[in-house]
Structure 1
Amino acid sequence: MKTELRTLRRSEWDSWFDGILRAFGAAGGLDRELYRELTETDRSLGAWDGDELVGSASLFSFRMAVPGGALVPSAGLAMVHVSPTHRRRGILRSMMRRQLDETRDAGVEPLSLLTASEPGIYGRFGYGMATRRLDADIDTARVTLKTPPGSDRLRMRLADDAASVSDACESVYARRVPERPGMLERAPGWERMPLTDPPEKRKGAGALACVLAEDEAGEVRGYARYALRHGSDGTGVARGTVLLRDMEALDTAAYGAVWRYLFDLDLMTDLRVRDRPVDDAWLHMVGDSVRLCRPRWRDSLFARPVEVGAALAARTYTAPVDVVIDVEDAFCPWNEGRWRLSGDAGGARCERTRDAADLALSVRELGAAYLGGTALRALGSAGRVRELRPGALGAASAAFATDQAPWLSHGF
């Protein structure tokens, strides 16, 4: 029977989602009712073999912070799978083709984003690894922590019901978004994502809790959402773990106060940190950041320009730049050709040109470098960017760089 690729119908959502859960194993960590509300059915695809779902892909409408602080409409690609019974039939390629064509036709989102369970798949569709994430397991019983001045002047307030203080946390989060490239503005409904806490998925931990750092006027300056897993070393000595879900702070004092709180919880000797910026400041507050913290860095967000000109013009540049880039993009050929990028910290333009190229690269390298997390010079050293005018690579690499590492603030 011929596979049919079509836009998801609301009446098919349960079957569609069941197929996704099967593909990603058990529940896949996905909250069914939340995703029912978040799914944009008119931007979701299903590949059907009769009544059987054999492939899926879905887009979410986001706005992402880019260098300079602008929030740029971006299409977040997720829920992508092809059944193992239907591999090598072109289903994935067809879904990627249609999603990118429809995003371009809508003319709203110059960027496409995804996170990848298998990163090697998406390079051929033009996605470059744009951000990394930091994970760590900190031995708080032995690691010393030196917090910034003023951290001890904030009041810490514990809310056992994290949902009850969600508005205060989201206010802090919203103020942080423009400050770091890669952060996503919370579209309606996504503020519930950090609060998902089904008992069957706690794996021995307690319920989600939230602590707020408040100044003398009672304004919330920072927060952390976390859970506690009590345990012992087998001899009766307590050895519990703090499971950090997410945290944000508006200034260094509040940041330090939140981390001090997490380090000092009774009966806890370990702090599990997941999915933080690679330049997170706690790395410079601890006495031993490697041996007793075990930091690891992993791939996170993959990005690709849907419209090269609009994407490059949407961000600012750390240093003045005037460079002609010859772009290769076999999957989205409308991007191919030479583009003149000129700009600085105040803004940028990127337009078609017939001038000789200074650099040559594929759209995948543009996606990797777009947020400043991957240096163009490093890509050049790997043979993935060709310098056609002496000095052009170094100048462009400096312009694309950012003073804060980009970071995807929540998955999708």
Structure 2
Amino acid sequence: MSVEIRPITPDEAVDFLRIVPSYAGTPNWEPEPAAWHAGTGMTARFGRAARPDQLAAAAAGMSDVDRTQAAYVDGRLVGTSQLLSLEVTVPGAGPVAMGGVTAVGVLPTHRRRGLLRAMMRAMLDDSRARGEALAALSAAEGGIYGRYGFGPATYQARWELDTRGLRPADRQGSIDLVGVQTAAAAWPALHDAVRRSRIGEVSAYPGRWGVGEPAGRQFLLHYDDTGAVDGAATYRTPWSPDRASAGTVEVEWLEAASAVAYTDLWSFLTSLDLTKRVVAAKRPVDEAFRWQLADPRALRVTRQSDDLWVRLVDLPAALSNRSYQTEGALVIEVADPFCPWNEGRWQLDGGPDGAHCRRAPTGAAPDLSLDASTLGAVYLGGTALGPLAAAGLVREHSGGAIGRATAMLTQPQAPHNAIGF
């Protein structure tokens, strides 16, 4: 068996997409009614395998083709993967360069032959060569990517709210129902403003705002006092054949660059006529709207899942590129067999004004030891070290080291990523 891993050529794009799960018609990783998005179930991108015209259109709009890493066995394309050139907002430092791993798939006839490992090797090598200190992905299966040094760093929730008896807040700005083209034109600048102030948010990739207009989808824009867009939402009020799901508002997306826009949009969505329930998906686990309710129990989380899995590609650069809540110093011992250049003991000195990470002096004893996947999970500050230590994933070698590390790493707001890729 002859195996080759390389970027595709432009004339191989359609064959590449035929293998990508979302185009091949592979079902989502969780079927209805347990799906955690706004509706009752999730399907493939087109609800089935993509038609030739859909594949051709998608291939023509592919970005970062040079960052694909496809697997060829005896000359035949049988596996796909791709890196998107993105940015992610990290504590204190704002957006930094990140390789977004996506489009991962292997034909069923060629699984368990090491092809995914070979493609991941090529992607991380490419990311390192381009100076990206981080790589990240959204995992279709939770048991795959830890072995490659990725750890779940952000989480998202699906929640429901019974709106009967709810008193919406008075709106302070203006909201307009707009068409899909108007919404798509406003979203890039809005998301760019929002992502810079929320840890874990990722930049939009080319084509991200080319949204469709399925039956019932409505588009909202919120305007501040100057007439500028400072919030947006999409929702549906789908027809239902049964009493249990009638009168439901499905909120698919909501972003706000101001507290006024945030409150106004939720006030609008929870006071629509002839509705009794709001279902919202892919929301932050620390959703502020709960605290605006007279009865916070009215908002019920019905699903929570990991979202963004983070991997440190260049460990000293990644730890130096973010700030820390308190001043502190740690010697961290890291196990990283997949990226051996990250292995060993590292001296981290950091605080609110910045940080520096370098190889620890010879003979320096470690304060903590952990592996690359665990380090990825705690990097954005949303995962506590205490439970990881209790699970045996973090070892404390000097007294109080876990407390010091927790004080340095933990952030006041949970990291959140609204954009899948």
Same fold (TM over 0.5): yes
Q: Identify which of 145, 148, 158 aligns with 1:135.
A: 158
Aligned to 2:99: 75
* Residue aligned with 2:161, SS: strand
Contact conserved, 2:84 with 2:205, CA < 8 A, in 1? no
Contact conserved, 2:335 with 2:343, CA < 8 A, in 1? yes
* Residue aligned with 1:372, SS: coil
Contact conserved, 2:136 with 2:311, CA < 8 A, in 1? yes
Q: Which amino acid aligns with 2:367?
A: D
Mark the CA change 1:28 to 1:405 in structure 2 (over 3 Å): closer, same or farther.
same
Contact conserved, 1:69 with 1:178, CA < 8 A, in 2? no
Cα shift readout 1:308-332 (whole Å, capped 9, x = no counterpart): 0000111111111211111110111
Contact conserved, 2:284 with 2:414, CA < 8 A, in 1? yes
Q: Which amino acid aligns with 1:24?
A: T
Shift of 1:221: 2.6
Cα shift readout 1:119-141 (whole Å, capped 9, x = no counterpart): 11111111111010011132323
Cα shift readout 1:91-133 (whole Å, capped 9, x = no counterpart): 1111111111121122x20001011111111111111110100
Q: Does residue 13 of structure 2 align to residue 9 of structure 1? A: no
Q: Does residue 144 of structure 2 align to residue 121 of structure 1? A: yes
Mark the CA change 1:272 to 1:34 in structure 2 (over 3 Å): closer, same or farther.
farther
Shift of 1:383: 1.2
Q: Which amino acid aligns with 2:355?
A: A
Cα shift readout 1:195-232 (whole Å, capped 9, x = no counterpart): 234x4xxxxx41x3221222333232322122221336
Q: Identify which of 269, 273, 289 aligns with 1:266.
A: 273
Mapping for residues 364-375 of structure 1, pairs under 5 Å = 364-375=373-384
Mark the CA change 1:232 to 1:288 in structure 2 (over 3 Å): closer, same or farther.
farther
Mapping for residues 149-164 of structure 1, pairs under 5 Å = 151-159=170-178, 161-164=179-182
Give the whole-Å Cα distance in 2 for the aligned partners of 1:287 and 1:131: 28
Q: Identify which of 86, 97, 100 aligns with 1:62.
A: 86
Mark the CA change 1:306 to 1:386 in structure 2 (over 3 Å): closer, same or farther.
same
Mark the CA change 1:230 to 1:359 in structure 2 (over 3 Å): closer, same or farther.
same
Cα shift readout 1:351-379 (whole Å, capped 9, x = no counterpart): 11122211111111110000011112221
Contact conserved, 1:173 with 1:248, CA < 8 A, in 2? yes
Q: Which segment is superposed worse, 300-309 or 225-234?
A: 225-234
Aligned to 2:37: none
Contact conserved, 1:57 with 1:95, CA < 8 A, in 2? yes
Give the whole-Å Cα distance in 2 for the aligned partners of 1:131 and 1:60: 19
Mark the CA change 1:157 to 1:114 in structure 2 (over 3 Å): closer, same or farther.
same
Aligned to 1:112: 135
Aligned to 1:302: 309
Mark the CA change 1:215 to 1:408 in structure 2 (over 3 Å): closer, same or farther.
closer
Give the whole-Å Cα distance in 1 for the aligned partners of 2:224 and 2:135: 39
Percentage of identical aligned residues: 37
Give the whole-Å Cα distance in 1 for the aligned partners of 2:76 and 2:279: 40
Q: Which segment is superposed worse, 129-138 or 242-251?
A: 242-251
Q: Does residue 179 of structure 2 align to residue 179 of structure 1? A: no
Shift of 1:42: 1.2
Aligned to 1:283: 290
* Structure (1 or 2) with the greater helix fraction: 1
Aligned to 1:196: 212
Give the whole-Å Cα distance in 1 for the aligned partners of 2:148 and 2:345: 20
Shift of 1:156: 1.8
* Residue aligned with 1:264, SS: coil
Contact conserved, 1:40 with 1:59, CA < 8 A, in 2? yes
Contact conserved, 2:349 with 2:355, CA < 8 A, in 1? yes
Mapping for residues 84-123 of structure 1, pairs under 5 Å = 84-106=108-130, 108-123=131-146
For the aligned residues, what is the CA RMSD? 2.3
Shift of 1:169: 3.3
Contact conserved, 1:74 with 1:110, CA < 8 A, in 2? yes
Give the whole-Å Cα distance in 1 for the aligned partners of 2:75 and 2:250: 41
Shift of 1:258: 0.3
Aligned to 1:28: 44
> Aligned residues, how many?
395
Q: Which runs of 5+ in 2 are unaligned?
A: 29-42, 47-53
Q: Which amino acid aligns with 2:4?
A: E
Mark the CA change 1:88 to 1:169 in structure 2 (over 3 Å): closer, same or farther.
closer
Shift of 1:23: 6.8
Aligned to 1:315: 322
Give the whole-Å Cα distance in 2 for the aligned partners of 1:90 and 1:216: 57
Shift of 1:245: 2.0
Contact conserved, 2:385 with 2:402, CA < 8 A, in 1? yes
Mark the CA change 1:196 to 1:80 in structure 2 (over 3 Å): closer, same or farther.
same
Aligned to 1:384: 393
Mark the CA change 1:4 to 1:104 in structure 2 (over 3 Å): closer, same or farther.
same
Q: Which amino acid aligns with 2:202?
A: L
* Residue aligned with 2:350, SS: strand
Aligned to 1:202: none
**TM-score normalised per structure 2:** 0.87
Shift of 1:13: 0.6
Cα shift readout 1:231-271 (whole Å, capped 9, x = no counterpart): 3645xx99232221211112222211100110112222222
Shift of 1:174: 1.6
Give the whole-Å Cα distance in 1 for the aligned partners of 2:58 and 2:413: 32
